[in-house]
């Protein structure tokens, strides 16, 4: 895969439509090779640092196993055990780590902090979720839709719920691949306007579109994919009660999915809260692809790692 070596992946909006397509094609290729027991050993001798300011199950394990499958290895960077926690600055930390490592995957509270790290590091910085983006999740999501539906151009993707990190990256990846993305979010929890404007720009090239509505049914009508995420993301726990009220009409349940196509896919980045954003009947039902989707984190990220490192 050409021309991506050394790049950061903080947001998919820094990548062209062509590059996102190339990453997804590469993920399909790497997945097939991995399944055949022949994952390319392109990261032999390379090390990825992994830093988590927030909890993780999927991101941590899929990045670690992904590096191992590509022939590389990971170093866990616990911020509390580093001099960072004693006041060493980002500049010295980033420059030092760049001497040892070939890349850093970071899950951070603030996207601005990740940009600061990238500014001072000479190695690729990969975003493993921030307050506004989750690009690796979105690549795995679209990879899953491609595998199930064959192609995604022109398909309708309905995102219901919080206009959060996951929704921003999902809309970016979906629009880049030519999908029609409908986001049903209550007032007060809308996606970021500036991010949506950039996604619309991207759509001019790909033919993809993004629409925002307060009506989950409008978003769900004839949808090929129905996607939701938690109502209370990490870091917003104090708002949990207010959010349960605000999102009450935004649950993915039997009624809502009845508006979608019969062969709709239900998707969720996980972790999920059954009977809040989605009923057990739907997430555990026959149209749910959530484990397939979680599994694809591994393959999508291997493509990213192989391309950037
Ligand atoms: N979907 C996702 O990023 O999961 P984790 O928080 O478990 O990494
Ligand atoms: N929006 C969720 C996603 C978790 C993977 C959060 O930020 O907590």
For each successive 10 residues of the chain (309 residues), what is the average pLDDT?
Answer: 92 98 98 97 98 98 98 96 96 98 98 98 98 98 98 97 98 98 98 98 97 98 98 97 98 98 98 98 98 98 98
270 is in an annotated binding site: yes
Nearest atom in ligand 2 to 270's CA: 5
Annotated active-site residue 107? The verdict is yes
CA distances from 263 to 84, 115, 181, 267, 279 (A): 49, 40, 17, 13, 18
The whole-angstrom separation of Cα 201 and Cα 178 is 12
Bridge partners of 213, per DSSP, are 184
Fold: same for 12-133+296-308 and 137-294: yes
Asked if residue 188 lies in contact with residue 236, where contact means CB atoms within 8 angstroms, the answer is: no
**Residue 165's Cα: distance from chain center in Å?**
8
Rounded CA-CA distance 267/262 in Å is 15
Q: Does 234 appear as a known binding residue?
A: yes
Render the burial of 228-264: b for 16+ CB within 10 Å, e for the rest. bbbbbbbeeeeeeeebeebbeebbbeeebbebbbeeb
List residues bridging with 209 in a β-sheet: 180
Counting Cα atoms < 13 Å in the Cβ hemisphere of 236 gives: 16
Please tell me whether 59 is known to bind a ligand: yes
pLDDT of residue 1: 76
Longest alpha-carbon distance in the chain:
56
Q: Which of these, 137, 243, 101, lies nearest to 186 by C-alpha position? A: 243
Which atom of ligand 2 is the closest one to the Cα of 235?
8
Active-site annotation holds for 185: no
Q: What is the CATH number of domain 12-133+296-308?
A: 3.40.50.1370
What ranges do the domains of the chain cover?
12-133+296-308, 137-294
- How many angstroms separate the alpha carbon of residue 137 from the centre of ligand 1? 8
For residues 286, 289, 290 and 296, what is the CA-based torsion angle, rounded to 10 degrees? 160
64 ligand 1 Cβ < 6 A: no
Active-site residue, selected from the candidate residues 39, 131, 134, 299: 134
**Pocket of ligand 1 contains residue 115 by CB under 6 Å:** no
**Whether domain 137-294 has CATH 3.40.50.1370:** yes
């Amino acid at each position: 895969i050409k021309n991506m070596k050394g790049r950061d992946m903080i947001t998919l909006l820094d990548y062209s439509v062509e590059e996102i397509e190339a990453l997804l094609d590469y993920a399909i290729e790497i997945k097939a090779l991995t399944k055949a027991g022949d994952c390319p050993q392109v990261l032999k001798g390379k090390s990825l640092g992994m830093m988590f300011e927030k909890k993780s199950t999927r991101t941590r394990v899929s990045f670690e196993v992904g590096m191992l499958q590509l022939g590389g290895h990971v170093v866990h960077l616990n911020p509390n055990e580093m001099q960072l926690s004693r006041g060493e600055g980002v500049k010295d930390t980033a420059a030092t780590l760049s001497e040892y490592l070939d890349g850093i995957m970071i899950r951070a509270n603030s996207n601005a902090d990740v940009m600061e790290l990238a500014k001072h590091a000479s190695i690729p910085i990969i975003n493993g979720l921030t307050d506004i983006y989750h690009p690796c999740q979105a690549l795995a999501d679209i990879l899953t839709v491609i595998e199930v539906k064959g192609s995604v151009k022109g398909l309708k993707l309905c995102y219901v719920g919080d206009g959060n990190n996951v929704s921003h990256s999902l809309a970016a990846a979906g629009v880049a691949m030519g999908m029609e993305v409908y986001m049903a979010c209550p007032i007060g929890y809308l996606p970021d306007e500036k991010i949506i404007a950039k996604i619309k720009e991207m759509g001019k090239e790909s033919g993809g579109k993004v629409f925002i509505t307060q009506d989950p049914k409008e978003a769900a009508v004839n949808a090929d994919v129905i996607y939701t995420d938690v109502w209370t993301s990490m870091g917003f726990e104090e708002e949990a009660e207010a959010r349960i009220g605000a999102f009450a009409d935004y649950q993915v349940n039997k009624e809502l999915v009845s508006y979608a196509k019969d062969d709709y896919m239900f998707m969720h980045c996980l972790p999920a809260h059954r009977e809040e954003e989605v009923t057990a009947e739907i997430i555990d039902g026959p149209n749910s692809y959530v484990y397939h989707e979680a599994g694809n984190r591994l393959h999508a990220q291997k493509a990213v790692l192989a391309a950037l490192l």
